[in-house]
Each structure stands twice: as C-alpha cells, then as structure tokens.
Amino acid sequence: MKIYAPLSFAANAFAFASYSEIRPYVPPTGSDSRSPCPGLNVLANHGYLPHNGLSISGPQIVEAFSNAMNFDTAVSQGAVDFIFGALSLNTTTAHIDLEQLFVPNVTDAKTSVARDDYKHPINPGRIAFALEASGPQSDVTPTTWGKTRIALEDLDKGQPLYSLDITGGAGTGALMFLSVSQDPKNNGNYANVTARKDFVRVFYQEERLPVELGWKRRSIMPSAADLTGITTAILEARNSGAGSK
C-alpha cells in the first residue's frame, strides 16, 4: 500500500488543481435573479458574475466569459451588444438584473432547449428530448444539433415561429458549443465540432460547468469567426433536414 500512496496523493493533488482553476458552483436561491440564457446563469452560479444576478454591466459580462471560458472579447462583446441593444440600454454604462432578459420573442426566443416557454422553469424532460433528437451517439455536433433544432421547432409548432427563433436558436446553440466543446475550432471544420452530451446536459439542466466530468477551461480561445461558423453549420443542417453525422 505504501508504494501506491504517493501516486494516490499526486492524483488527488492533480484533481484538486484542475477543480481549483474554476470557481466553485453555488446553486441559486429563490431570491437570486436568473435569465433564460444558461451561459449567463452559469457565470453567476460560479461567481464570475454577482451570484445574486443583480446590477450587472456589459463589461462585467465580457470579463466573466473570458475568465471562465476563455472567450475572445469579440464573442462576449457581441452577446452584450445584442442583449443590451434589445433592452435599449447602453452597453458600457447600463446595468441589468438577469431576469430582465425574459422578454418573449426578443431575448427569450421560442424553441428553447431547456424551457417550454419563457414563463416556465427548466424542464429536464425537454433537455432529454433535445439530446435524444440529435441521435444515439454520445456527443453532439452542429450537424446533429440541426436535428435537435428541427425537433424543438416541431415540438413548439403551436406557437408562431419567427426568423429570430430560428437564427437565435442556432446562435445560442453555437454559444453552447463554444462553452462546453474542448475544441470549438476543429481546424475550421465547424460541422463536426463535438461536445459531449453529458457536458451539454449539465450546462442546460444544472447551469454549471461540468468539471467533475472532465470539462476544463481550454487554452483555445473561441473567436467570433468560430461562433459564426458553428451557427452557420447548425442552420445549414436544420435547413437541409439535418443529415446524419
């Protein structure tokens, strides 16, 4: 047993170092403000944004995405520009509470992966449906995520569907890939960027970073070109009926 003790100690030390790179997850309470955007909620739940979700500025969001997920500034600034612009707020001086983003057909498009509509809480069954719709494999790609987009649109077909719901759904899917994929660049082959389904489920359902499953903050910095490339790949798959992986 003594022979293995140093190895065990080293393994535990390595695991601690990996976990300590990411701020700990603290579940939200009923008084904490949260949004329909899982990415912003993840940042608040891990303390990269104020945990209460209140009085958050655009520059804080940009810094939080960089610190937690190593996003290029252009990616997170683009998200800030959209969010604050939709609320008619100044991106550098205004502050928001996360719950302000529950604006139907604007910042909270239909065909959500996690919610039946903007009034409802996270639905684990809907997330399971979304993942199953992408196929039986253990990961998702923008190509197979096109199947998910089609399935979610069909699920919500009783509601009017606008172009923002389609492009917004693809764009938020791309942000998910940038958040949890270990290689969102994939040498420019965006249609085949992979993200593990267990990572995706934790991201949407528990709104946290799945570090205990092996997720790590990458040295790779996702760019605006990567976001556009993945969004386009999802839309192309959705528009073509989503071919197989």
The three state secondary structure string of 62-112 is HHHHHHHHCCCHHHHHHHHHHHHHHCCCCCCCCEECHHHHCCECCCECCCC
CA 71 to chain centre: 12
- Give the confidence band of 234 by pLDDT, cuts at 50, 70, 90: very high
14 falls in which pLDDT band (50, 70, 90)? very low
Which residues does 243 contact at the CB level (< 8 Å), separation at least 6? 143, 146, 237
Q: What is the mean pLDDT of residues 221-240?
A: 97
Which stretches of 70-114 are DSSP H helices?
73-86
Whether 188 shows a pLDDT value over 80: the answer reads: yes
**pLDDT value, residue 21:** 83
C-alpha separations of 216 from 7, 19, 140, 176, 186 in Å:
22, 8, 18, 15, 17
Instruction: Please give the distance of CA 143 from its chain centroid, rounded to a whole number.
Output: 17
Residue 29 to residue 211: CA distance in whole angstroms = 22
As beta bridge partners, residue 139 has 196
What's the pLDDT score for residue 242? Answer: 60
Write down the pLDDT at residue 102: 87
CA 28 to CA 53: how far, in whole Å?
9
The per-residue pLDDT of the chain, averaged, comes to 89
Instruction: Using the predicted structure, report yes or no on whether residue 109 has a pLDDT greater than 80.
Output: no
- The reported pLDDT for the residue numbered 105 is 67
216-225: pLDDT as tens digits:
999 999 999 9
Indicate the pTM of the whole model: 0.88
d(CA 166, CA 238): 9
Asked whether residue 23 carries a pLDDT value surpassing 90, the answer given is: yes
Domains of the chain and any CATH numbers: 5-239 (1.10.489.10)
Give pLDDT, residue 16. Answer: 37
What does the pLDDT average to over 101-117? Answer: 81
Residue 2 scores a pLDDT above 50: no
Amino acid at 223: S
pLDDT in the model for residue 24: 97
pLDDT at position 111, please? 87
Better-scored residue on pLDDT, 106 or 233: 233
Higher pLDDT, 168 or 19: 168
Residue-wise pLDDT for 53-93, tens only, equals 999 999 999 999 999 999 999 999 999 999 999 899 999 99
